[in-house]
Chain A
């Protein structure tokens, strides 16, 4: 499953950062997840709870998910529009010459550790 692989990557990075900062226990991880990142927040949380239960220093660590809006840029009329509502076609000028500006983030924002 997609989310499980992502969880393993988060755990690896978080453990590294915790160690660099001499922290033995991480109590919270804050993630920024873009609207069109293909990550399902609910699955991510499920995989997270399952995976951290077995990780020394991460048991009971909470996952906070902050969703970020997806925005597409239209090269036809040089403007932005919300991706999820309109997809690939610009609602202002009908052009298909568009690309995603942001909204596919899967990013670790910060952790709380002791």
Chain B
């Protein structure tokens, strides 16, 4: 019987030697290796005293505008650098550099919808880490994929803008469950949308009871000092504890 099976296999796959094929069991989540790399990166950042924030959101919710307002508030107190991840452009990196004067670099994801720990490390390798207090990663605009890959950041934050609706925490539970901070941006347009701030907080805390929620308006600067203070406290905490 074994003979026959061997013969059968040779006929189907004439160039393959049956007894040489090895089945190797792996049984490993594809996020596992990335998780190890992310942990290593965090350890390294800890040794160097650099705090890395991973900022996520849907496209156009106001990441770049918020970063410009916040960095201008922080740059006398902390040395800040920004990494912009985009599928294919360097508009945001240039915009931030022009508006704040800080160091920025552009990471191209080559068509991918998220950054992983290895790509983040490559980005950090291109930044002068000496004396740097705070590195901010503007992740690819997307509420699904970036949530699945640990970048090695010390904290995750996301921006939800008013026009997107208060039900987003229900629709994208993973994103909200991994964020330490949720900024609710574009509060200036609240009168034009049926966005319910209390409901939104409730839904966020359903997914993540520990998440801090700060309503902001990147356009008028409302709430920006509170976000800046959160960053200052987080950086200080990271460096001392």
By the criterion CB–CB under 8 Å, are B112 and A111 in contact?
no
Query: Quick one: closest B residue to A16, CB to CB?
Result: B33
Smallest CB gap from A97: residue in B: B206
Closest to A88 in B: B170
- The residue that A110 contacts in the complex, of B24, B30, B31, with Cβ under 8 A, is B24
Cβ of A10 within 8 Å of any chain B Cβ, yes or no, is yes
Dominant secondary structure of chain B at its interface with chain A? mixed
- Chain B residues contacting A23 (CB-CB under 8 Å) are 22, 24
Are B145 and A2 within 8 A (Cβ)?
Answer: yes
Interface string of B25-67 (1 = CB under 8 A from A): 1111111011000000000000000000000000000000000
Complex CA gap A105/B22 in Å reads 24
8 A Cβ contacts from A1-41 to B: 1-2, 4-6, 8-10, 12-14, 17-18, 21, 23, 27, 38
Question: What separation, in Å, do the CA atoms of A14 and B25 have in the docked complex?
Answer: 11
B111 touches A113 (CB 8 A): no
Which A residues are in CB contact (< 8 Å) with B28?
13, 107-108
Complex interface: chain A residues within 8 A of B148 (CB): 38
Cβ of A6 to closest chain B Cβ, rounded Å: 6
Query: Would you call B30 and A6 a contact (CB within 8 A)?
Result: yes
Cβ-Cβ contact count across A and B, 8 Å cutoff: 77
Mask, A44-60, CB within 8 Å of B = 1, is 00000000000000000
Closest to A105 in B: B29
Query: Is B31 in contact with A112, judged by CB distance below 8 angstroms?
Result: no
**A17, B16: Cβ atoms under 8 Å?**
no
Q: Are B33 and A12 in contact (CB under 8 A)?
A: yes
Cβ-based interface call for A101 (8 A): no
Chain A residues bordering chain B, tally (CB within 8 A): 28
Closest 7 CB pairs of A and B: A5-B112, A9-B30, A108-B26, A110-B25, A2-B145, A107-B29, A106-B30
Contacts A/B (CB < 8 Å), 28 sampled: A1-B111, A2-B144, A4-B112, A5-B113, A8-B112, A9-B30, A9-B31, A9-B116, A13-B30, A27-B16, A38-B144, A106-B29, A106-B30, A107-B27, A107-B28, A107-B30, A108-B28, A109-B25, A109-B26, A110-B26, A111-B24, A112-B21, A112-B22, A112-B24, A113-B21, A114-B16, A114-B20, A114-B21
| 8 extra interface residue pairs, beta carbon distance < 8 Å, beyond A9-B33, A12-B33, A106-B31 | A1-B111, A1-B112, A5-B114, A14-B26, A107-B28, A110-B23, A112-B23, A114-B22
| B contacts, CB < 8 Å to A | 16-17, 20-31, 33-34, 111-114, 116, 144-145, 148-149, 170
